Structure 1
Amino acid sequence: MNARKTLRQAEPVRYSRLLAVAAERGTETVTNDDVAGPIDSSDEWIRQRTGIVTRRRATADVDVLDLAEAASRKALDAAGLVGADIDAVILSTITYFHQTPSAAAVLADRLGATPAAAYDISAACAGYAYGIGQADALVRSGAARNVLVIGAEKLSDIIDPTDRSISFLLGDGAGAAVVGPSDAPGIGPTVWGSDGSKSQAIRQTHSLQELAADGTLGMPTLRQDGQTVFKWASFQMAPIAAKAMAEAGVEPDDIQVFVPHQANMRIIDQMVKQLKLPESVVVARDIADSGNTSAASIPLATERLLSEGSARPGDLALQIGFGAGLVYAAQVVVLP
């Protein structure tokens, strides 16, 4: 009887890092005055409550895959790679309206990345940080060498102009990052989780099944319980970010850049205060000009800081995403 052969496993890699981050924004600038009328509001009220001055939205002929493709091509170029160099594509979005096939598989084909593994993530505003955590694990386990992570949203497709709870906040865009092997630690442990008991705090108005049964309902749109989300994000997410720093073996004084999900300027300010970040820390405030772009907000904000020179390659950045689910994920990364 032949002895059972020992299985061969992939050779692990000790470290991973971000090789590049890139972004694609909607080309239309939508002001507060443009959205204030239908919700009986004003530019002043929106600025005071959210910190948003404008939001960027895509034109009608551009869909979420177009945004994702544009950001991905920029990220590949910045990393000195082509599609064929990518072993896995992870796309986070809530605005791709096909249950199957996945947006990631279509995107991989557009980029020339076939036969890369490809799958979508539904983690809303935490989706990009979820994807970075998974890419880190794939690279270090030896399951993939280079992983493309994208957060992409065309939220203007699912807004109700008369909704005062969330629609006026939302913008369109995509951010992409390439994760690959490294000689030194470049991505700290991911601290992530969920709280489904608050699943209705950010929700869609009705399901596709309900729409099929009653065509008068129209396309589902988003709603949120603002106070519930504000309190949760402002006071429960700072401890998650602090845990991500602790898991990475760093302290607030070591952090040079803070990139939270761009949900609301008041939430950002509250998190900075609770984390006791030094005044020298560069804080992403992309929401002022881009609005809330859900899964795209962290890479969009990161790319902006790097392109404007506010952040530099090699800086230690604390990033945290949080949103519908409710879900969250945070990690410390070395900027590319």
Structure 2
Amino acid sequence: MPLLTAQGPEHTRILGLGHYRPANVVTNQDLIDRGVDTDDAWIRSRVGIAERRWADPGETVVDMAEQAASKALASAGVGATDIDMVLVATCTMPTPVPAAAPNLAARLGIDAPGAYDISSGCSGFVYSINAASAAIRAGQATNVLVVASERFSGWLDMTDRSTCIILGDAAGAAVIGSSDVPGFGPAVWGSDGAQYDSVAIDEQTRFFRQDGQAVYRWATGTMAPIALEACRRAGVKPEELAAFIPHQANLRIIDAIARRLGLPDEKVARDIVTSGNTSAATIPLAMSRMVERGEIPSGAPVLLLGFGSGLAYAGQVVLAP
């Protein structure tokens, strides 16, 4: 006999957002004072960062995720009992097992949800919201909590000025639920596995490392067409976007892609200047902060573009909550 199947709503969207940045602000001068061989002008010219946030020694990936998630639940107007799946995008848990998602769910009082982590680095949030949307549309979940939380301060080689100046700690969260209208355009995603180790945690030293020039060339050369294709598939012209929120890897990369899209400065997220590169957390962090400041109207189209470790990427137009 045929198996019974579940079926959910036709459309989904982001219902609410939240974010968290640690209180500890680390300026460029702070890095210099710690003995990093650099200066403020060099950092700003290379990556565009003025400061970043680092977690306190006892502050964990799950601690930050809990803070951002609580805000997202409040923003969406849903409670713990309304959530039946929790996804956490992270690549900075101290150990591969256990996953962050079940721990986070228990802390929030979410009873027995489906819960798992997605380790796709800088594109992890976009992959995660698509997994959440697919679960709802398939009838496997009703409301999904997606959190991206990264704590890179525990993986830094302070003698490597090309990496320790870039990375920060933060979390961003979104609640995904059903919608009467489409809230997600088609995702345009893929990967360049031939360069998979361009961004990595070194197996021997346990420090973060990357081939910055290779990643820069790849991102500036290939990401603008991905962004344009995401707009085309969603039926949205670049000039109709309320905001462009790319992964906050490097200000020069962000500006190069924005120029190719023909977008004015006020529509482009540049959260990297005061938050640094927080990998999977950069997109929800920047989007939540822009929504909170009133820079993105509710229901307006926003282009998300994650790219980085893997080298994996994912572009998508979504509606703002």
> TM-score when scaled to structure 1?
0.92
Q: Unaligned 5+ residue runs, structure 2?
A: none
* Residue 24 (structure 2) aligns with: 28
User: How many residue pairs align between the two structures?
Assistant: 320
Alpha-carbon displacement from aligned partner over 1:51-97 (angstroms, at most 9, x marks no partner) = 10010111112111000011111111111111221111110111112
What amino acid sits opposite 2:188 in the alignment?
Answer: V
1:301 equivalenced with 2:297 (yes/no): no
Question: 1:53-92 counterparts in 2 under 5 A?
Answer: 53-92=50-89
CA distance in 2, matches of 1:301, 1:113: 26
Q: Which residue of 2 aligns with 1:44?
A: 41
- Give the aligned partner of residue 213 of structure 1: none
Report SS of the residue matched to 1:51: coil
Unaligned runs of 5+ in 1: 211-216
Percent identical among aligned pairs is 47
- 8 Å contact from structure 1 (residues 256, 281) kept in 2: no
User: Alpha carbon RMSD of aligned pairs, Å?
Assistant: 1.3
Residue 290 (str. 1) matches residue 297 (str. 2): no
Asked whether 1:97 is paired with 2:83, we answer no
Deviation string 1:14-67 (CA, Å, 9 cap, x unpaired) is 100000010010111100111235332100110111110010111112111000
Following superposition of structure 1 onto structure 2, how do residues 1-336 of structure 1 map, counting pairs within 5 Å? 4=1, 6-36=2-32, 38-206=35-203, 217=205, 220-277=206-263, 279=264, 282-336=267-321
Provide Cα deviations, 1:154-189, integer angstroms capped at 9, x if missing partner. Answer: 110111111122221111110000000000011111
CA distance in 2: counterparts of 1:171 and 1:197, whole angstroms: 27
Q: CA deviation at 1:281?
A: 5.7
Alignment CA distance shift 1:93-1:256 (3 Å): same
Structure 2 Cα separation of the partners of residues 302 and 195 of structure 1: 26
TM (normalized to structure 2)?
0.96
CA shift at 1:11, angstroms?
2.0
User: How much does 1:328 deviate?
Assistant: 0.8
How many Å apart are 1:241 and its aligned residue? 1.1
Choose 1 or 2 for highest CA Rg.
1
2:242–2:297 CA contact under 8 A, matched in 1: no
In structure 1, the residue corresponding to 2:26 is in which secondary structure?
strand
1:32 maps to a residue whose letter is: N
1:61 partner amino acid: G
Distance, in Å, in 1 between the alignment partners of 2:155 and 2:207 is 5
Offset of residue 12 of structure 1: 2.7
- Secondary structure of 2:186's counterpart equals coil
Which has the larger displacement, 307-316 or 264-273?
Answer: 307-316
249-258 or 175-184: bigger deviation: 249-258
